[in-house]
């Protein structure tokens, strides 16, 4: 059964338990950070930071809002990064869960191309060119556990389960939230496995909250890559 | 908490003021969120817009230190608009009591004030008694000197306009909050308050809580599900340590520490056992001698006999009228009057208000024993900023303690739940459980007293038989806390064998036949087993989330205290959906009732077998009028010791006339001083804990909040030419702190009586020892050592500072 997350930002308190739990489960090192005049830290995702709660102060309709967006890979149903790479030994979709997984073989990929292919600006490279991002805690999930970020969430902002159940939960919650916030919406629910609910225009939360900013030119590039993929593999096999 | 964490989900309106639950009690938001999903209104009142405010339906920014004005305005609104539960107020509170003729309140002072001693003679605050010695009452609440009428008169001055000018909250926002919260006065509705140090750490801390208690009583919110007065405790076990007498003025179970003038056990018991002449008052503290004698028996065992007052005079007495609180101890240390100090599980060099004074005080010690998980700014004070190690003679010993999960024992959470925890990993290196360290220390001290020494009796006679195979045994201590029958006895027709555990405190005796280390915990570890270790997930019959067989809660597993007030005079719950207890006609069902007596029936002809609802009060009624507090029976707004206004708009007394003020060289204060023009406050963030000893050393958490900061409005930053993210210097009359500026929309300049007042805030978690840069220090270098008149908690939540560019 394929899996999905439902992330209800309307109840997220930005306690950032998810951010730390992610580092703990994946045994990722802490980054040396500075206070840049914001609670949000680190500033961005990185090879060592797969999950980041983005925090934005916005005045909306004369009322101050502090918007929290616990960002992570969306595990697209048709992931452009995978298709751009065209190398299942580097980027593949796990058939059991739907998780989009990166391996150490990402090191040989064109980093810039893969990152640009992602409509949500998620993958990050190490200095040697290996790519990393959220892996859905697929090792936990396959052993009957919830992803670390979901397990630690105190308010129910982070939810995880079978895709149908998550979509049903998301739609039900959207209706409740819309009573108070008419502009509430689910972000790209048909395309991704990490479905966010926001109370306001998603662009207010984060530049890449939805895929709408995604340039259409990439699609052509992906198509070309797909066509070229068997050839590339053949050449590599020879080499 | 009078209620408990899960019960927050049953609330209709949640006021979060004086705390920042989303950030500092993140798990509580599970239940806040649940309540909100069911339609509850969430109100956040805070000096800045926090992560709690981000989820609130209503937010108001308040000037630090003006909560009594804000809440006093709410009392007036509730009274003016008749939003109170009149039946509840008349039956269960002391609103009908008649106060004596000589009581008065003039120019900010209650009757009986003595300017020279800065103390009140509380004689004139007493109730009028009838010929039997029972308070006179007017249940119609009309008598001009009844508490209800005095309350109306007292708060008539707290108009929205005046409250707005003091607090900085706009009148329309005040009214919106008052209306939303006041709506919980309707029977069946419940409002709750979640508060923490933001209310207690003021020179008027106790009265902040009193004001809210009055509101909760007026609205009938005490004893009901989704209501109560709920203190969110700052450590997992701070409730437990308070129950077991962490503080100087109490013995375990909130018994009184004896004074020098309490010369014998009899005199002590007489002094602290209240007497009521009202047959309908349970006056539970009438049992005081049973609890004090059982406690002495648990201390001294066989050596405690009736002939020697059960060892009463082996215990230290405090001098009458002399306080021994944190502030007083460090003041004495600063003056060189204390020579040795165990800093056990604490970091006063960072946590103490006016931390610069604390650090200087440590220099006067001959020895300091630091018992902690890691070295900290206290143990290493001698090499801290501004210290010359060559000039410091204090000898420091470090005893490494293991962390809580490495040992077995109990913690008691904010909701009074005693929860047993098993040992996880074994202690690391040579670290040991606190219990082992204390036992070892005690045995070595006792060995030194075997051949004499001054006053050896208390040391030699201490029972402390808590070892199993040479190690501290938490089960033995837990059983001792519960208590034993020390003889074969028959109590209430039941026979008990010597050496068996006492089933509940109703069986404790004052004749030495029982022991109990803490009467409130009697019932926690019985012949049926360790109640705190229970883990049943079955709810009680009322289905409101009591989970009575999950852990254990004091007293006698009563999950919501004062629950006799959750029902009307017939025993029918005010709230039919979230009922706590209910009278079936022959017994109570639901939660453990506050006593099994039948309901009152009526006020005109109460059932003689019944009791008034508030059984812990001498007269059986909750105190809207509280004649026991140091600064008066009604809370009154006084400004913080350091404040931005020349005058208190509410009365001519600027500050609490009985506040604890210290006047040493290190205790300077600045009010309306152009050198310190901005209101400062301190707080916590989610990412660090306490002085940060367990979090600043943790890279993942330091990554999230790497540096001490000061939050300020965009307007103040512009005024001072400060850019977001740059380092600045904060200064108070006592010290300075380098920190990073967070310039934010979440703080706005306040309009205080027509003047612009800026407020800034600092997290207090940092210290020079970590992070390794050594540049992040404690915000308590800025805070004053002035305290609340009752508890002497320091006023770290409202003081004056300046912010300058570096």
Quick: pLDDT tens for B510-547.
999 999 999 999 999 999 999 999 999 999 999 999 99
State the pLDDT confidence band at A217, using cuts at 50, 70 and 90.
very low
Q: Say if residue B250's pLDDT is above 80.
A: yes
Within 8 A of B704 by CB-CB distance, chain A residues are: 16, 19-20, 33, 41
Confidence band (pLDDT; 50, 70, 90) for A212? confident
How far apart are alpha carbons B566 and B46 in whole angstroms? 30
Task: Give the per-residue pLDDT at A223.
Answer: 54
Report how far Cα B92 is from the mean position of its chain's Cα atoms: 24
Closest residue of chain A to B28, computed from CA coordinates: A154
Give me the mean pLDDT over the B446-452 stretch: 93
* Residue A108: cis peptide before it, omega within 30 degrees of 0: no
Output the furthest CA–CA distance in chain A (Å, rounded). 64
Contact between B29 and A13 using a beta-carbon 8 Å cutoff: yes
Q: Is the pLDDT of residue A236 over 60?
A: no
Answer whether residue B405 shows pLDDT above 50. yes
- Residue A224's pLDDT is what? 53
Structure tokens at B442: 């005690």
Contact B762, B678 (CB under 8 A): no
Answer yes or no: is pLDDT of B390 > 60: yes
CA distance B800 to B804: 14
B701–A contact, CB cutoff 8 A: yes
Give the one of A16, A30, A64 whose C-beta lies nearest to B49's C-beta: A64
Q: Confirm or reject contact between B703 and chain A (CB < 8 A).
A: yes
pLDDT averaged over every residue in chain A: 92
Q: What percent of chain B has pLDDT over 90?
A: 99
Q: What is the DSSP string of B479-508?
A: HHHH-BB-S-EEETTEEE-TTPBPSSGGG-
pLDDT in tens, B592-622: 999 999 999 999 999 999 999 999 999 999 9
**How far is B121 from B109, CA to CA, in rounded Å?**
12
The residue-averaged pLDDT of B291-313 equals 98
Question: What pLDDT, on the 0 to 100 scale, is given for residue B663?
Answer: 86
The confidence score (pLDDT) of residue B611 equals 98
pLDDT digits (tens, 9 = 90+) for B199-229: 999 999 999 999 999 999 999 999 999 999 9
Chain A's closest residue to B713, CA to CA, is: A37
* Amino acid B587: pLDDT: 97
Contacts of B23 in chain A (CB under 8 A): 13, 15
Mean of all residue pLDDT scores within chain B: 97
Q: Which 3 state secondary structure label does DSSP give B62?
A: coil
Which of B55, B707, B744 shows the shortest C-beta gap to A57? B744
Q: Would the pLDDT of A232 be above 70?
A: no
From the list B22, B23, B743, the residue facing A37 with the nearest CB is B743
A235 has pLDDT over 80: no
Between CA B384 and CA B390, with CA B386 as vertex, the angle to 5 degrees is 80
pLDDT for A28: 98
Judge: A36–B725 Cβ closer than 8 Å, yes or no: yes
SS3 content of chain B, % helix, strand, coil (to 5): 30, 20, 50
Say whether pLDDT at A225 is over 70. Answer: no
What's the pLDDT at B664? Answer: 82
Set of chain A residues whose Cβ sits within 8 Å of the Cβ of B707? 34-35
Query: Residue B161 above 60 pLDDT?
Result: yes
Q: How many CB contacts within 8 angstroms connect chain A with chain B?
A: 103
Per-residue pLDDT reduced to its tens digit, B677-692? 999 999 999 999 999 9
Identify the helix (H) or strand (E) that includes residue B171. Answer: helix B171-182
CA distance B433 to chain A (A): 26
Nearest-neighbour CA in chain B from A84: distance (Å): 33
pTM above 0.90, yes or no: yes
What does the DSSP assignment read for chain A? Answer: --EEEEEEGGG-----HHHHHHHHHHTPPPP-----SSS--SSS-BTTBS-EEEEEEEEETTEEEEEEEEE-----SS-HHHHHH--TTTEEE-TTT--EEE-GGGGGS-HHHHHHH-TT---EE-TTS-EE---TTHHHHTTTPPPHHHHH-SSS-EEEEEHHHHHHHHHHHHHHHHTT-TT-EEESTTT-SEEEEESS-GGGT-TTSSGGG--THHHHHHHHHHHHHHHHHHHHHH-
Q: What is the mean pLDDT of residues B641-654?
A: 97
**∠ Cα B113 B118 B122 (to 5°):** 40
- Work out the pLDDT band at B346, boundaries 50, 70, 90: very high
Q: Mind spelling out the 3-state secondary structure of B287-324?
A: HHHHHHHHHHHHHHHHHCCHHHHHHHHHCCCECCCCCC
């Amino acid at each position: 059964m394929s899996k999905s997350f439902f992330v209800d930002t309307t109840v997220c308190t930005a306690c950032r338990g998810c951010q730390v739990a992610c580092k703990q489960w994946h045994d990722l090192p802490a980054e040396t950070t500075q206070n840049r005049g914001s609670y949000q830290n680190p500033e961005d995702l990185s090879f060592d930071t797969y999950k980041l709660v983005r925090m934005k102060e916005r005045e909306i309709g004369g009322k101050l809002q502090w918007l929290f967006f616990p960002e992570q890979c969306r595990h697209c149903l048709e992931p452009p990064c995978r298709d751009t790479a065209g190398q299942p030994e580097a980027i593949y979709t796990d058939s059991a869960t739907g998780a989009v997984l990166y391996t150490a073989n990402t090191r040989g990929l064109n980093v810039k191309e893969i990152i640009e292919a992602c409509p949500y600006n998620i993958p990050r490279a190490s200095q040697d060119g290996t790519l990393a991002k959220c892996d859905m805690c697929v090792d936990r999930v396959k052993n009957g556990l919830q992803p670390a970020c979901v397990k630690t969430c105190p308010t129910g902002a982070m939810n995880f389960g079978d895709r149908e159940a998550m979509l049903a939960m998301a739609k039900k919650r959207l209706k409740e939230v819309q009573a108070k916030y008419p502009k509430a919406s689910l972000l790209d629910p048909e395309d991704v496995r990490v479905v966010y609910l926001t109370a306001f225009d998603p662009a207010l939360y984060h530049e890449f909250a939805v895929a709408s900013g995604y340039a259409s030119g990439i699609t052509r590039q992906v198509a070309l890559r797909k066509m070229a993929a068997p050839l590339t593999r053949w050449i590599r096999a020879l080499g | 908490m009078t209620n408990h964490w899960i019960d927050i989900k049953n609330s209709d309106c949640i006021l979060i003021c004086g705390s920042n639950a989303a950030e500092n009690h993140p798990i509580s938001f599970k239940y806040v969120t649940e309540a909100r999903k069911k339609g509850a209104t969430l109100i956040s009142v805070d000096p800045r817009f926090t992560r709690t405010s981000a989820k609130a339906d209503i937010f108001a920014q308040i000037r630090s230190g003006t909560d009594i004005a804000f809440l006093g305005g709410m009392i007036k609104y509730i009274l003016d608009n008749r939003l109170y539960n009149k039946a509840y107020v008349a039956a269960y509170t002391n609103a009908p009591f008649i106060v004596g003729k000589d009581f008065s309140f003039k120019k900010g002072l209650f009757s009986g004030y003595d300017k020279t001693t800065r103390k009140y003679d509380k004689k004139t605050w007493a109730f009028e008694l009838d010929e039997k010695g029972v308070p006179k009452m007017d249940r119609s609440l009309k008598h001009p000197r009844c508490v209800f009428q005095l309350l109306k008169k007292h708060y008539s001055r707290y108009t929205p306009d005046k409250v707005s000018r003091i607090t900085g909250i706009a009148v329309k926002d005040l009214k919106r909050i008052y209306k939303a919260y006041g709506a919980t006065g309707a029977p069946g509705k419940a409002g709750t308050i979640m508060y923490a140090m933001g209310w207690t750490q003021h020179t008027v801390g106790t009265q902040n809580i009193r004001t809210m208690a009055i509101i909760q009583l007026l609205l009938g919110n005490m004893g009901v599900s989704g209501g109560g007065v709920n203190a969110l405790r700052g450590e997992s076990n701070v409730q437990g340590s308070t129950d077991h007498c962490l503080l100087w003025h109490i013995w375990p179970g909130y018994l009184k520490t004896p004074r020098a003038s309490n010369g014998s056990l009899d005199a002590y018991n007489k002094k602290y056992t209240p007497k009521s002449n009202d047959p309908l008052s349970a006056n539970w503290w009438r049992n005081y001698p049973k609890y004090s004698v059982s406690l002495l028996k648990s201390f001294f065992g066989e050596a405690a006999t009736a002939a020697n007052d059960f060892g009463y005079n082996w215990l230290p007495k405090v001098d009458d009228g002399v306080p021994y609180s944190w502030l007083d101890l460090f003041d004495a240390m600063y003056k060189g009057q204390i020579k040795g100090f165990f800093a056990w599980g604490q970091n006063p060099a960072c946590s103490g208000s006016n931390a610069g004074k604390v650090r200087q005080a440590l220099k006067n010690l001959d020895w300091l024993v630091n018992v902690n998980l890691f070295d900290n700014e206290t143990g290493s004070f001698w090499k801290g900023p501004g210290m010359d190690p060559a000039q410091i003679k204090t000898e420091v010993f470090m005893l490494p303690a293991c962390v809580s999960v490495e040992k077995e024992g109990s913690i008691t959470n904010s909701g009074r739940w005693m929860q047993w925890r098993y040992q996880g990993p074994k202690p690391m290196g040579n670290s040991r459980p606190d219990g082992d360290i204390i036992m070892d220390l005690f045995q070595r001290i006792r060995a030194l007293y075997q051949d004499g020494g001054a006053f050896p009796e208390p040391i030699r006679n201490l029972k402390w038989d808590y070892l199993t195979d040479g190690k501290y045994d938490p089960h033995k201590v837990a059983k001792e806390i519960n208590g034993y029958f020390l003889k074969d006895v028959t109590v209430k027709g039941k026979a008990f064998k010597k050496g068996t555990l006492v089933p509940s405190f109703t069986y404790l005796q004052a004749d030495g036949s029982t022991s109990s280390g803490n009467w409130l915990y009697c019932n926690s570890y019985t012949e049926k087993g360790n109640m705190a270790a229970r883990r049943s997930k079955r709810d009680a019959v009322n289905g409101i989330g009591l989970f009575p067989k999950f852990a254990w809660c004091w007293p006698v597993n009563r999950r919501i205290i004062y629950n006799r007030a959750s029902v009307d005079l017939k025993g029918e719950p005010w709230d039919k959906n979230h009922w706590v207890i209910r009278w079936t006609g022959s017994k109570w069902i639901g939660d453990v009732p506050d006593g099994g007596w039948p309901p009152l029936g009526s006020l005109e002809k109460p059932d003689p077998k019944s009791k008034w609802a508030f059984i812990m009060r001498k007269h059986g009624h909750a105190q809207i009028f509280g004649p026991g507090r140091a600064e008066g029976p009604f809370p009154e707004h006084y400004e913080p010791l350091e404040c931005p206004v020349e005058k208190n708009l509410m009365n001519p007394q600027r500050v609490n006339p009985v506040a604890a003020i210290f006047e040493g060289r290190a205790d300077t204060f600045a009010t309306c001083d152009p050198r310190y023009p901005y209101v400062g406050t301190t707080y916590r963030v989610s990412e660090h804990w306490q002085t940060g000893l367990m979090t600043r050393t943790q890279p993942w958490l330091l990554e999230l909040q790497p540096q001490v900061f000061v939050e300020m409005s965009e307007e103040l930053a512009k005024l001072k030419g400060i850019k977001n993210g740059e380092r600045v210097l904060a200064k108070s009359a006592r010290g300075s702190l380098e920190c990073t500026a967070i310039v934010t929309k979440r703080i706005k300049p306040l309009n205080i009586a027509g003047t612009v007042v800026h407020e800034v805030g600092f997290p207090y978690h940092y210290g020079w020892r970590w992070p390794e840069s050594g540049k992040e220090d404690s915000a308590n270098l800025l805070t004053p050592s002035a305290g609340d008149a009752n508890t002497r908690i320091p006023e770290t939540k409202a003081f004056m500072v300046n912010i300058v560019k570096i």
